[in-house]
Amino acid sequence: MTTDTDTASVPSPAPSGFDNDNRQAATIGDSARDYVNRLRGGDMGSLPAILGLVFLFAVFASLNDRFLTTYNMANLVIQSGSIIVLAMGIVFVLLIGEIDLSAGVAGGASATIIALMLIDYDWTWWAATLAGVAVGAVIGLAIGSLVAFLGIPSFVVTLAFFLALQAVPLKLIGSGGSLRFNDAVLRGLSIKNVPVTAGWIAAILIVVGFAALSLWRYRSLSAKGLVHKPLGLVVIQIAVLAVIVLGLTALLSANRAPNPELFEISGIPWVAPVVIALLLFWTYVLTKSRFGRHLYAVGGNAEAARRAGINVKRVRIMAFVICSSMAAISGLLAASYTGKVSPGSGGGNELLYAVGAAVIGGTSLFGGRGRALDAVIGGLVIATIPNGLGLLNQASYINFLVTGGVLLLAASVDAISRRRRSSAGV
């Protein structure tokens, strides 16, 4: 029996969001009809989350004129950073049909290690960051090994780690204490901005790079007679990305200081480049790498993946390692935002928000379907709710009710979509 995992023997995973590249349509109209048919078949993708985000923006903007100000939009980017990064890690675990309840506190424990390395041992910021991410990776390795080799349900394993990992910052910091997170570089991720000129250069490079890759891919596939998107659709996608990237850059490059005559606050918050870099990296891993194909295959049908020669146990372990490593980066961003690490770091609603962000963005709770982009879209939805309600001076319980309702709605859409796909034989 062949073990070549790059052959046709690899099971075909459930649609993941990038599988549409394998469909060819002659015109934009054909592409539109194909998209409508996929919607009818239950392949909703991130459409509900995008519509929800537009709805929330419209409602909050109509109720408070400060919501769409550049100052608040920059705050929204900063507030959503840690949620988005943690949700990206959760996506990998959800893709294989598992769950990680310890991701939030794993981030808190890792951030505690980073703070201690900075304060007690005077490490450089990059060395302390590597140490924190390494701690997260070790946590993920332990969880993944227990799940893969012993067959313990991930819910039980991660629940145990959720309880145990809360002891790490409590022991190292002490009850009621805290550690200042005041390294100039790491703290600057939340309180400092990219120089305006550098921000514009980066934005232009992103647009030009995306355009070049998209057109090169179109020309390459067309020359080889392989399936590809219509040229018109490729141009539209490039134009949409250009409008979004350049528009946000222009928005955040303006002076957003409350008193612009006294001082200036301008530029893209440093959190944004971190999130974008992680998004690009993990999107490449999921869509272009062998590991990404194996991940979708295991999530779609683990037994079929095993019979095709895929090392299912290794894939599962790596999913948890990636999740906990991303949790460490999320914990760093959360500490950068608050300026401190405390025994309760990561133990609040961070995990719930991250899982909610992944699901709201379009990642399936049943495995096999999801993208790194889902975490970004869902994270913005989750962060928009408390941001907008805070401007309206609403009570905290309203935030919980609305967020819980949005998550329940997203889970319902996921379940209904899955049922319709099953009925359609997808």
Dihedral angle at the C-alpha atoms of 354, 358, 359, 363, nearest 10 degrees?
-160
- DSSP H stretches of helix in 224-264: 231-253
Report the C-alpha gap between 309 and 332 in whole angstroms. 38
Q: What is the structure's pLDDT at 345?
A: 87
Q: What does pLDDT average to over the chain?
A: 86
Banded model confidence at residue 424, pLDDT cuts 50, 70, 90: low
Report the C-alpha gap between 350 and 105 in whole angstroms. 9
Q: Could you tell me the residue ranges of all domains in the chain? A: 19-181+291-416
Dihedral angle at the C-alpha atoms of 63, 67, 68, 72, nearest 10 degrees?
180
| pTM for the predicted model, two decimal places | 0.88
More confident position, 27 or 371: 371
**Which DSSP letter does residue 265 get?**
-
Question: pLDDT per residue over 134-182, tens digit each?
Answer: 999 999 999 999 999 999 999 999 999 999 999 999 999 988 788 998 8
Question: pLDDT per residue over 266-298, tens digit each?
Answer: 999 999 999 999 999 999 999 989 999 999 999
Three-class SS of residue 97?
coil
What is the helix (H) or strand (E) element at residue 340, kind and residue range?
strand 340-341
